[in-house]
Structures are given as C-alpha cells and as structure tokens.
Structure 1
C-alpha cells in the first residue's frame, strides 16, 4: 500500500510539473513588447548605471494632498535614486497634474505614472467621476458599455498625466464574506468575470493606457484582508487552475499588458508558505512559464501586512524581484531595496542581464505610452475636460444597465394606473428625504417617511399606522458606509419590519446595498418587487425611481448568488420607456454645451432686463428629459428663489390643457362633433347668432367671434362703484364666488357671462381672429355631454392618470401659497396683488374654472400632458386619445384662409416672419402648442420628438411689461434646442 501511495504521489507530481511547464502558444503578446529593443530604449539603457536600472523597477507612492514636505521627499527619490515611476493616491486632478509635470521635469528618464482606479478617478481623486463598482458592472448584459467605460477611464487617467491603471480586478469572488475583493469583483461566475475583464481591459488599452489584471492567481475566495494579514487559500491545484486562474489565462490570451500578483499563501502552488508575491514557483513557474506571460508583472502594494509581516523593507523588495516581478509597487525603502538587489546580483542569485531585461520591459512600456516624446500637460480647464457630458452620460448608462429586478410579481413594474395608487415611501437608514424619494415625486404625489436604521418598536409602529392610509409602499434600504460592504447595521426591530413589509402584496423594495447583504434580512425575498442596485449613490437612487415608474428598462442579472434566496444570473427584464426618463442631453442626442449654455444665457438676459423675475424651463426629446431647471426669483423685490416644484399660472395654455383633451376624448367616443355647434350642446345658444357655427371653425379662431369681453367692467356703475348684484365684501350663500379676499361675486354672475357671450356681435369676415369667448363655455359643454363635474372629469380622465399632481385649478386649495408664483399687481379690477388665484379676470369671475385660463402647474406636470400629445395620445402605458384624433386636431385646418391654427392648438406661422414669428425658425410645420399671456410657452414638435416648456410670470408687477416679447426670449430658447440637436 505504501509503495502504491508513493507511486501515486510521484505521478501527481509529474503531472503537476507537466502542467506548470505547458505553455499556451495562442496568447497575444502585449503591444509594448515591440519596443524592448527600440532605439529609444537602447539609448536610455546606455545612459543608466546598474543601480539606476534597478531603480527603474521601483514605483513609490505619491499624493497630491500632502503639501510641500511630501513633494520634496518625492523629488529627492527622483533625483537621487532615479526611481522609475510613481503611483498616485489621494488628492485632486489639478494638483496631481502640476506635481507630475514637476516630477517629470526633475526626472532623468520620464516617470511611469500609475493609479489604482478600478472604478475611475473618483476612487482616488476629489471631484472626479466614479463609475459603478465592478460588482454592479457584473450585472450588465451589454459588454460594449464596459468597453466604453474602459476607454473613458483611460482618457481621464491620461489627462491627469498617468499611464498605467492597476485594473481590472478579475478575481472570481466566490466567497460572500470576502472582506477585500467582494464588490470590487465582477462576480462569482468565471465566464462573466472574464468577459467583463476583457472588455474593460481592451477599452483601456485601445485608448493607450496600460492595464494590469489582478490579483493573480486569484483573491476571490479569501476571508482575510491582505492589507492586514496574509490570507491562505487551501484549494487543490485543479480547482485553482480551472476557476481562480481562468480569467487571468484568458486575459493573457487577449493581450493584457500587465498582471498584478496578490499577497496570498497558496500551499497547492507553493508549499513554502511565502506570499505569492514572493514566490518564484507562482510568478516564474506558473505565470511566466506555464501561462507564457511576457508582459509586465507588478507586485501588489509592498507596504501591505500580507507581505511585510516578518520581512524588512528593502529585503522584501529584493525577494519580489527574485521571484520574477518586474515592477515593485509602493516600495517603502528605495535605497535599501536597490542595495539588496545589488547584493543579490553580487551573490549570483540574479544576473545583471536579468535586471536589464526587466528594465527594458519598463522602458518599453514608457515608449508605448508615449513617454519617448514627453510633453507637460496643461492644467487649464482640467475639471471640465475630465467631467465631460459624454462621461456623465456613460456613468448613468452603466448604472441603468446594472439595475437588477429580482422580484416582480404580477408584473407590477413598471407602475400603471397611477390614479388607482396612493403611494408612500419609507427610506430606511436615511435621516432626510433621499434622492430616491425626490425622484419618485417626479412621477406622482408620494408621502415620504424616514426610519433610522436603529429604530425601535415605538417609532416603527407610528410609521405602520401611517402606512395603513396607502395602498402602495415603496421602501428604500440605504447603505451605512461609503462603500457597499457586506454588512447590515440594522436593529432587529427594523429587520423584522422589513420582513413584515415584504410579506405584504403592495410593497416595492429597492436595495441600495451589496447584494450579499440581502441574505441578512429574513423574508426580504418574499417582497412582491425587489430591486438590487449594488450601491447607494444619487444616480442609483434616481434611476431606481425611474425604473419603478417606467422611465427606464431593467435587464441586469445578479452576478453572485445570495444564499438560498437567489441564484447567480437571476434577473427579471422590465420594459420601461412609458414615462419620462430624466437624463443628460447627450443621452437624447443633444449637445449639453449648446443647450445649457444658450438657455442659461437667454434666461439670465431676460431676468437681468427685468422681462421676467424668474421661470422654469423643461426640455425633453424622445421622452428623455434633458433640461428641467428653475431660474430667478418669485418677485423682483424678494429673495424667494424659484424651485422646480413651484406652480405657475398657465393662462391661455389652459385652452389646450383642460377642455381640449376632454373634447378629443369625447370625439373618440363620438359624443362630440367638430361639425356641431355650441347650440347642439348648450340649448341656451339656440336661435343666437352663434348657432350652427361648427366647432371646427370656433376652435380654429375663425368663427367671427369677438376676441374678448371685459366682463369685469360690466360690474361697475358710472361712478366706479360695483353694482349691487355683483360684488360684496363678505361671502354668503348669494355671493359665494371668491374673486379676492374682500370681493365675493354673485352666484348667478356666470349666467351673465354666458349672456354676454351669446349677445356679442360677430365680426364681419370669417378669417383668423383669436378669441377666447368659446373657451368660457367649454367646461359646461363637457359637463352637458358627460353628466359629470368638469374638474372631476379632467382629473379622473387625465391629470390623475398622468400623475400630474400640480396640474390643477384653484391651486391654493391644494398647495401652500408659498409654492405658487405670484402674477400681476392688479390696479384695474381687484386692486390686490394676484397670488394663488388666476390672473385672468374672466376666469376668476367664473369661479376660477374656465377653459380660457385658470390652470396652474409646474413644468414637470404640464410636460406629462404635452408628452401625451407628442406620443399621439399615449403616456404611462395607457391610451388617452386616439392617434388619428390627435393628428386631426393638431393639423392646420384652413391654410387657404391664411389661418395657421389647428383645432385648439396653435401652429407655426404659415411663412416664417423672423422675430415676428410665433416659433423658432427651425420648428417644423408639424409642431404645435400654445402660448400664455402670463409668459408661458408650451410646444411640441413630432419631427424631432421635441417638447419645450417655458413658464414665467412676465406680468409681474404689470401686464404692461412686454420686454419678454421684445427680447423674443421664448422663441430664441426654442431655436437653441434645435441647434443643440446633434446630427
């Protein structure tokens, strides 16, 4: 038995050695190797002493936030020791570039600059972009996005004066408790890790940045952090070869430039117990000989306890060189490291020729990255050049593509029928209203609650009581640290509460944490909807909310298994695109520099010229909101800034926002006819001069109606006092209509308005003449047809379904007056400042309910209605109006009569008239919308799928302020939108 066992051991050893010595001949060699014997490398080699050739193998740590003393230390190492490179850590881009320029100037041989920027410069430098962590990237199904990220990361790193990124991490994270890799890994599936690693690597290297796959031979199955101790991996060779080393082999085959070696104790690969960084068996025997890797071999940081424990600085660096490493990262004692290597050469442990070979490799890298023609980098505009719109758009695309829906019972996502939902949100672990909650509010009215992560039963019970009033609860579970670690610092009571919510059939949970942490909450997998975002950031929170309401899709797949709850690869596709996506201009094919620059400039011009105190701008293209911004103040004389949530008086935009959609819907149902007249629906108008005039003419403003009637003047006596049956200072049953605080209108005065309209004379000629008279009648016509209250009808059929919470009449009944932007100081009729009620005199005398004026909204909610028009009657996955109806209502009806108008909607001038035109030059003939007297502009263009809203209160303090018209601000901004569209 002993002989047989010994024979088996010998055979296993032979087989193992054969495997070690087997070379893969299909590998693509790193590109930089072509320069090892170039003229430039030869010339540099000739200029270097033996010690200086050793120094080229050394890279020390540099910081751009440590001041003059640190800079002087680095300069001394450069000048006296002739080190080969620097790895930059914390600081800021501007200082880093300045320092690198100074360091390069001091260097005899150009320095190789490196950074550990696995998720971009934001990992190390202030005010720079962080792309998603690799765990989130592992969920993405489109590897082209990973490649694009690699290219962008390379561009940014090179812009800061560096040439080498210690990335990607290609460790297969198959240990959920891994404290050091974890979220830094693409996941637990070796194939997915490999595909993502190759895409990221190729993106960076194709853009001229050298990369290193790390941490060889695989740091994924450890439960010890090598920064503090030496982890041990006890798997047999076969497992290590087929799993941990698999991604490294494939990246080597694809031409990766470098490989970083981990600090690990792996008995199956080296039985001596030395860290893999110092193991000749692992680095030379496996990486170089068996895998045939000829690229740059880099140590993990040589100051980590995993390698320094029991080893002196300098001595440990020599050991790393002897093991086969080319580049020593974070050497702590440079003079001693050089001396120790010199001693090893003298002892014949390593040859000078071998050192020279590795030095040539370092120099070849320098030539490949362009250091043979080094030029200092400018500092000017560096932040703008780093954080470009393109980069910001890519960042959002990556987060969006990573979002993973783990549960979606009954296809609840995306939410539909908003009118049936009463929504509450609970943020767990957040002190204040979160970005997630603010983003939810963009789509619908949502009541927000916050719950501390250490909350006790009494606090939880209060929220439970409140939640009984809602039929949908959206829960955000937020992280308690900067990084998405595998921890869960929630009290037992809070965890139980999450479990209870998960058992309800009306709960949506968005988990803004490491997916492994899902396993630490009992029953969370029972939630009807469960979204995994992988990390907690403003962007993940915004996009998770957009996913819930159908602004975006979700197709991420879980890159790791979560205990027995979810398998790796699990993920439910959700199709969005049914409501607004809030994003960047570039995502919609628009140039943000042109768009934002011109819009900001024109708005500031209008505000400075006192054409408007402030306003809101809303722009969407292809259903993507690219600009939603508030400008200026409520009044010229105060300090109240306009907020995006503030409500504006829409004035005549009410015409296309209230009765018109109702009439279109009734037209679909054949309850309303464009060939019918007012008298067909309001018998009072029979035998009048307006009988039998078809609505097709009325709604296109060529029915010969008078433009307007000053109803309020009819309430006055000759001496200026009010007639006894018009106004009283106090309300009563006979005077219930509030016009102002001390003006209450008689209950029957609406009949007088109808009578004035009925008796008003007609114009002689049937041609275009704008008139609001019929729009006072339309709410009554809708009520006559439907048998329903007009406000209730449009709320239920449009505004509630759209989630347009602020699109409303009589806003002060629903919203605090502080959220309503004031309009005119009325010295003609009401003799008060108009704030919280409609500006139009006729509309206020109708009780604030008219189709001529009276609606209020913020830009976001008005946009939902306008986008429904642009979508030809569809929004939120629901059809409101038939496409054929919208096509009919939005086309010019009587162009031969020199009338540009559509049915209810305004249209561009039949011939462009320069600054006298009502639209921008490039607005298409298919476009339509309306303007409002208070300074409103609402317009859509189907040809470019473009929506534009301009909300302002230009009538403050007086309607005589016409500077907005003189400046043509609204149409100039509209033209800027077309100029921003990228071909």
Structure 2
C-alpha cells in the first residue's frame, strides 16, 4: 500500500513537471485572439486605467526608499501597465516588485534591459554574460540559445517577464557611440542567426524578447540618449541592410519590436520627427509592410532624441497616434494619460485602436501567466542567480568566442619554464589573466604600463623587457565599456608597436575596433577577446596553455587585413 501511494505521488510530481514543461502557445497568434480573462479585466478598468496599461514607469532600488515609495504612489494612483527596471540589488528588487504588485489592480508587466543578462543593471550581484559583439564571434549558435534559456530562468526567479533584447542593429559604423559592442557585428546574416538563437532561447524559456532598435541604429554617430540621430539613407538601402534582421526575425515569430528615436527622411519627411513617434514608421512600415502583429514598444520617452523637438507630453500622444502598444518611461505618465484621453475625445486617436492595444497588452500578461498573482521569494536568491551552471555557461561562451588573428606558432612555442616578461598595458595591478599566468610561469617578471608614461620611462622599460627570451603582451581596456579607440598616449602606442615582435605573444582584451589603435600584428601570435572581463581573460589563458583551441571568428571588419570571418 505504501508503495502504491509513493508511486501515485511520483506520478503526480511527473504530471506537475510535465505541465510546467509544456511549451507555451505561439505568442503572436495568442495575443491577437479573444480571451475571457482579458475581456473580464478590460471591462473592470476605467477609460484612464485602460490607457495607463500602455505605460511602463522607471523603477530603481538604488535611489533610496523615498524614490521607491514615490513610484509606488504613481502606480497606485494611475494603475500603470508595468515597470522598466534599472539599477539596484536583487533582494531589494524582489521586495519592491512584491510591494508594487500588491497595489496594482492588474498584475504589472516587469521589463528590463538585459542584453547581457541581469548583470547589465545589477553587475555587482548577478551574472553578466558576454556582450553581443563577443557572442558574434561564436560559431556554435546553440550556445546563444542556451544563454537565452538561462536568462529566462533568471528573469522568472527574480519576478521579471520581458527582456528588451536582443539588439539586432547591424554595427556598420565602427565609431557608433551607442550600439557598437552591443551589436552582434556588421554581417547581417550573422546578426540574424545570433539574434534568432538568443531570442528563441528566451521565448522558449517563457519570457518576452524585443528586437531593437527598429528600423536600425547601427550606422549612427549620435547617441539618441542625448540628441536626435539622422539616417540619410534611401529606402532601398534600409530595406537591404538595416531592416533586414527585423524582417527575418518578424517572420520567425518575434514577440516584440522596440522602435528607436531616429530621424529618417526617406521614411518620414516630417521635419525632426523621430521614428519612434512616426505613424509612417510604426504603422505603415512595421505593421503593414512588414506584417508585424506583436507588441510594439518605444525606446525610453525621456531621451533627448524624442523630447527635444516634441516636448511637454506631445511625444507621448504622437507615440500612441503612431501605433504603439507600450510607452517606455514617459517623462510624466499622468500628464500623458490626460493628453491621450483628450486626444480620444477630440477624435485625434480612435477609441477602438486604444482598446485593441490594451487587450493585446493584457493578452501578453495572460501568456506570461500574470492572471495568477504570485509573490516572489527572496530566499536563496543570490545563490539561485549565481548558480554553478550559469557560471559554467558564461565560461563556455567566453571560451568559444576567443579569436586567434595571427598564427598559433607563438602559442605552440610557449614554454612556461622559459624566462618571460609579462607586459600588461592599461592596468596598474594584476588581473585574472596575469594572476593565472603567474601560477604557470617558473621564471618571469611582471611589468605594468598605465598608458600615460613618458617616452624616457618607456625606453628604459623596453631595454629591460627585451632581455627576456619570451614576451607576453596583454593590452587591457579597463574602462566600464569597451571603446573603439584605446586611450593611450603616442609614446605608449609606439612602445607597443616596437614590443610586438617575433618573441611576443599579444593578447587584446579590448573592443575589436581597438585593433586599429595599435599595431600588434608583427607578434608571433595575436589573440583577441573582445572585452576585458574575467571570463575572457580566463579563456585567453586557456588558449595560451593549450587547454582549448581558439575557434572564434571576427564578427566585424576592422581593416583590409582583418575582415569579417577572420580567425585561425
């Protein structure tokens, strides 16, 4: 009898597990169907509360309790649709989410910019995956799918639902100040493959993903956070390049598209109009021409790229008029809701259009399971968000991205017993690469070059370094985000150029475009890691020690000799 009860219990557990394992219905068709729960919720909302479902408010936990409480008051008063989550700690975030959900009539849709996972906003306490440019070098796209699934798991664990990723912009401007390393690269086919794998991983994991920044932010030299970029390309060029990944991924079932703040005269000739609030872009191009039926969302409405020419809430009204489902971070959501309500009464905006969008947002919440309110537990949260399996995946991604740009001759000749000079440029103390290397070398001397030393100091260093039989040159970009140019003085650049010779193995812990800042290609071997993080340094050390083979390929063209796809 005990055995029978035990077996029934096991079957019940299997049944419950299978329920959770069941794949969700296809999102696009789901949010465009009628649902009893959606109609029930919709009918209980006032006209203002319906409009409020289209708004996402900024949320932090690193700005003090007063700020947290002020956002709660806005949510409670206006009954907004959801949050856009920024910096803070995971436990504080969970506590904030639980409080906010309790005062919301309709469960909040909690969104987040997590292009490289939770670490994009919570770097000190959660895992960061490699940047998209780094991922663009990987040849096994299944790894990106696995990353998407893991990020979905992390979102579920912390109580979030919607990741504003992947970036599908083609970075064909090396000086791009806002996309750059956030892009998978400059090859549209590789961008589509990588984006699709990442997107599918997240959606299969049960969260929403959003393609950004439509219709393509990769060839701009202005940051739309601070001004309005302009794309002067004709429609044919946009169709063949910028819009291509969006078109392909929409056909592959993308659940959401974020529209950027860019002025594109070939799409809308209205003076200074950002694409994010243009009906010709959002409705005519994205909805009608490309046939997109998922959620459209604006880039942040408090960015200067949109509010510069359309201030005082007019941009919010125009965003709704353009055809959006969700507005991210209005400067003043209460004012915007009032203005939209007036626009409906005046006939400027159709009530029927608003109703369709509100129901689509509610259907998205139903797809996510938000029809059942649940409280998120903070117990073991840090451990769950920093699991060994996640850390292992980060390292596997890093290992797969490392790119050998010149000959493995130097690596094959590397001898840990040989007298070695380790020259680290851009840092003042040992990082993971240097620390790990030190445990392997039996006879070495470490040199640090900050990057602003005088010519005389560098000449004396060169004399000492050249006395060593083996030289390891490690160039670090230790800034918070990898830039296209290295911030070294002319004497330092000359020092690097002279040091890179046949006895030298060079490692570039930098943005790939930074290869143009120095000349290390005379080295016996040149290894590129795309970023300076510890996991890339560990991967580079594995390559040097022969523990793994560098299999990454350049995701961008750097110069005539270092083109897309290069990697030995």
TM bin, normalised by shorter chain, reads over 0.9
* Aligned residue number for residue 566 of structure 1: 562
Unmatched runs of 5 consecutive residues or more in structure 1? 1-27, 573-983
* CA shift digits 1:187-229 (9 cap, x unpaired): 0000000000000000000000101000000000000000000
TM-score by length of 2: 0.93
1:122 and 2:137 correspond: no
Aligned pair partner of 1:530 in 523, 526, 546: 526
1:361 and 2:360 correspond: yes
Aligned pair partner of 1:514 in 498, 511, 514: 511
CA distance in 2, matches of 1:179, 1:334: 29
CA distance in 2, matches of 1:200, 1:70: 34
Greater mean deviation of Cα atoms: 269-278 or 443-452? 443-452
* Aligned residue number for residue 226 of structure 1: 224
1:800-811 to structure 2, matched below 5 A, reads none
CA distance in 2, matches of 1:102, 1:563: 53
* Aligned residue number for residue 553 of structure 1: 549
RMSD over equivalenced CA pairs, Å: 1.4
Q: Is the 8 A contact 1:519 1:565 kept in 2?
A: no
* Aligned residue number for residue 190 of structure 2: 192
Shift of 1:418: 4.7
Q: Is the 8 A contact 2:462 2:499 kept in 1?
A: no
* CA shift digits 1:89-133 (9 cap, x unpaired): 000100000000010011011000000111010010131111000
Unmatched runs of 5 consecutive residues or more in structure 2? 1-24
Shift of 1:35: 6.7
* Aligned residue number for residue 383 of structure 1: 382
Greater mean deviation of Cα atoms: 141-150 or 340-349? 340-349
Shift of 1:334: 1.1
Shift of 1:36: 4.2
Shift of 1:30: 3.1
Q: Is the 8 A contact 2:400 2:552 kept in 1?
A: yes
1:636-715 to structure 2, matched below 5 A, reads none
Which protein is bigger by CA-based radius of gyration? 1
* Aligned residue number for residue 68 of structure 2: 71
* Aligned residue number for residue 98 of structure 1: 95
TM-score by length of 1: 0.54
CA distance in 2, matches of 1:225, 1:29: 35
Shift of 1:29: 6.5
* Aligned residue number for residue 537 of structure 2: 541
CA distance in 1, matches of 2:430, 2:79: 54
* Aligned residue number for residue 251 of structure 1: 249
CA distance in 1, matches of 2:112, 2:66: 21
Number of residue pairs aligned between Structure 1 and Structure 2: 541
Shift of 1:59: 0.3
Aligned pair partner of 1:109 in 102, 106, 110: 106
CA distance in 1, matches of 2:183, 2:306: 22
Q: Is the 8 A contact 1:166 1:214 kept in 2?
A: yes
CA distance in 1, matches of 2:70, 2:311: 21
Shift of 1:314: 2.3
* CA shift digits 1:391-427 (9 cap, x unpaired): 0000111111110110116x332445555x3221100
CA distance in 1, matches of 2:45, 2:29: 20
* CA shift digits 1:821-854 (9 cap, x unpaired): xxxxxxxxxxxxxxxxxxxxxxxxxxxxxxxxxx
CA distance in 1, matches of 2:29, 2:120: 27
* CA shift digits 1:572-603 (9 cap, x unpaired): 1xxxxxxxxxxxxxxxxxxxxxxxxxxxxxxx
Shift of 1:526: 2.6
CA distance in 2, matches of 1:44, 1:356: 12
Shift of 1:571: 0.6
Helix, strand or coil at the partner of 1:568: coil
Q: Is the 8 A contact 1:32 1:365 kept in 2?
A: no
1:855-866 to structure 2, matched below 5 A, reads none
* CA shift digits 1:421-446 (9 cap, x unpaired): 32211000111122211111233223
* CA shift digits 1:435-465 (9 cap, x unpaired): 2111112332232111121011222122222
Q: Is the 8 A contact 2:166 2:198 kept in 1?
A: yes
* Aligned residue number for residue 208 of structure 1: 206
Greater mean deviation of Cα atoms: 185-194 or 63-72? 63-72
* Aligned residue number for residue 430 of structure 1: 427
Shift of 1:74: 1.4
CA distance in 1, matches of 2:373, 2:406: 54
* CA shift digits 1:926-982 (9 cap, x unpaired): xxxxxxxxxxxxxxxxxxxxxxxxxxxxxxxxxxxxxxxxxxxxxxxxxxxxxxxxx
Relative contact order, higher structure (CA 8 A, sep 6+): 2
1:290–1:30 distance in 2 versus 1, CA, 3 Å: farther
CA distance in 2, matches of 1:190, 1:313: 38
* Aligned residue number for residue 868 of structure 1: none
Helix, strand or coil at the partner of 2:241: helix
CA distance in 1, matches of 2:415, 2:31: 63
1:576-655 to structure 2, matched below 5 A, reads none
1:413 and 2:430 correspond: no
Helix, strand or coil at the partner of 1:247: helix
Shift of 1:34: 4.5
CA distance in 2, matches of 1:481, 1:339: 43
Q: Is the 8 A contact 1:36 1:363 kept in 2?
A: no
Q: Is the 8 A contact 2:420 2:468 kept in 1?
A: yes
